[in-house]
Amino acid sequence: MKEENTTEHSPSLPGGLISVDQWKQPEMSVQRTLKDAIRHLTAQLRAGMSSDEEPFQSLDDLPSLTDKQIQHIAPHPDFTALAGALLDSLAELRESETLRREVAVVAAPPFSGVREALVRLPGLGAVSADAESWHLVAPPDNLLMNRQDACRWWDEQDLTGPWVIPELADFWLRHTSGFALISELFQRMVSGRVGPGLVGCSSWCWQFWESYLPDAHLGPLTPAPLDAERLGQWLEYLAASRDGRAITARMTDDGLYVLPVENPPDAEKRKHSGFLRDLATASRGIPGVALAIWQRSLRARPEDEMEEDPDSQTRGPGGRSCWVVPLDQLSLPSMPQSSDRSIGFILHALLLHDGLDEERIALVTGVGEPELQLALSRLARADVVYEGEASGRWHVTPLGYPTVRRHLQSWGYPVDGF
């Protein structure tokens, strides 16, 4: 594979798609490494010594932005644009013969937005199809089946044309009867019995299946991680996506600039803060995690907060300004400590399956009903997990993800490669 795509990439997918082997964590300063290690160690040692169920709270006195202001300054990305960018990147890779397989697998860390993007491919949902129309393959209600039933189920699916599975983690359960669907699909993909398709897969799910089927070399791709520079460009792109207005963000402690990344041509040279590098590291280069932390770190000036209208936050004509709290002053969710394995089982299962309802959590973890309820409520109080209102599925929160991953790793669980 090529080292990396050198062509211009869409701002919604900075860096484009790369091979999984090329992914590397954004660089971390020595100071940040030490701080993180000490914080993690003290969090573990504090087990049982302090109240660990307090939700997230900020440690500064500056007023937070309102939801309306956040929707203008740091809105959620346009997943339709991301879907287009993913397709463009795949087409580029096919053109350069970097990708030669009929079925492309995109294994991305949680909160990368791949699932949300793939359900918005042309032909799915409201988007009209200009060129090819995609066919969505949805999982069956009952995932527990034997090999024969799995064969029959896949035979019934139309996998001849361009087909897409937005999230492969929806097709299995970590149960002795829950492996058949993906095993059968991988066999068909490897033997070339399916037409051109696109499979999105959570990196945690992928890590499991790489171990389960070590010989299935499917050459997965992944979005390039957001390093400080890409992250800055992406946040600028998000801020301008609503109304095209640029953003200026400065640190609350020393006034150094965070955004824009580049100096405006007519302005004097600005000193930039190292916040973006810290944010890229803290979020492991994952867009959804970075955006969640970014939203929490944004602050308004008191005089701005008095104004309800977000347009009042102008900083000169066509601009918008806000303040950013250093990461050290931001108290991110901390893990409830427990000597019992159940919390680890639950969190690991949620990441492996990209969210589960209570019945399925109990099925894959073996954690019984009362214990499960207690553990979930503890985790929810600590802002580490949340329950989807419509789906009833429990998920890890983007803010809680970095600490969940770190704790699972230190507790001996297999973690993803991202």
Partner 1 sequence: MGDMGQGLQQAFSAITWVALVEAALVVAAAVLLIFVIQKLVPGLAGKLGGKARLYLLASVPLARLLIIVVTIIVVVPILVEPSFENMVAIFGALGLALGFAFKDYANSLIAGIVTLYEMPYRPGDWIEVDGKYGEVRSIGTRAAEIVTPDDTVIIIPHGRLWNTLIANGNDGSDNLMCVAEFHLAPNHDVRRVMALLRDVGFASPYTKTMKPVVVVVANKTWGMTYRLKAYPLEPRDQFRFISDLTARGSEVLAADGVQFVSVPVAASV
Residues in touch with partner 1 (CB under 8 A): 41, 44-45, 47, 174-176, 178-179, 207-208, 211-212, 341, 344-345, 348-349, 364-366, 409-414
Supply the minimum distance, in Å, between the C-beta of residue 175 and partner 1: 6
Supply the minimum distance, in Å, between the C-beta of residue 182 and partner 1: 12
CA distance 198 to 256: 43
Q: Which two tokens stand for residue 139?
A: 């999982």
**Closer to partner 1 at the Cβ: 22 or 44?**
44
Q: Which two tokens stand for residue 331?
A: 């108290």
**Closer to partner 1 at the Cβ: 146 or 191?**
146
Q: Which two tokens stand for residue 379?
A: 């985790």
| Residue the block writes with tokens 């860390």 | 109
CB 234 within 8 A of CB 14: yes
Cα torsion 91, 75, 325, 259: sign: positive
Supply the minimum distance, in Å, between the C-beta of residue 34 and partner 1: 15
CB 205 within 8 A of CB 168: yes
Q: Which two tokens stand for residue 23?
A: 């992914």
**DSSP structural state of residue 412:** T
Supply the minimum distance, in Å, between the C-beta of residue 235 and partner 1: 34
**Closer to partner 1 at the Cβ: 109 or 344?**
344
**Closer to partner 1 at the Cβ: 56 or 411?**
411
CB 168 within 8 A of CB 200: yes
Supply the minimum distance, in Å, between the C-beta of residue 165 and partner 1: 21
**Closer to partner 1 at the Cβ: 44 or 71?**
44
Single-letter amino acid code for the residue at 252: T
**Closer to partner 1 at the Cβ: 176 or 191?**
176
Supply the minimum distance, in Å, between the C-beta of residue 349 and partner 1: 7
Burial code (b: 16+ CB inside 10 Å, e: under 16) for 64-89 equals bbeeebbebbbeebbbbbbbbbbbbb
Supply the minimum distance, in Å, between the C-beta of residue 173 and partner 1: 9
CA distance 234 to 398: 17
**Closer to partner 1 at the Cβ: 64 or 410?**
410
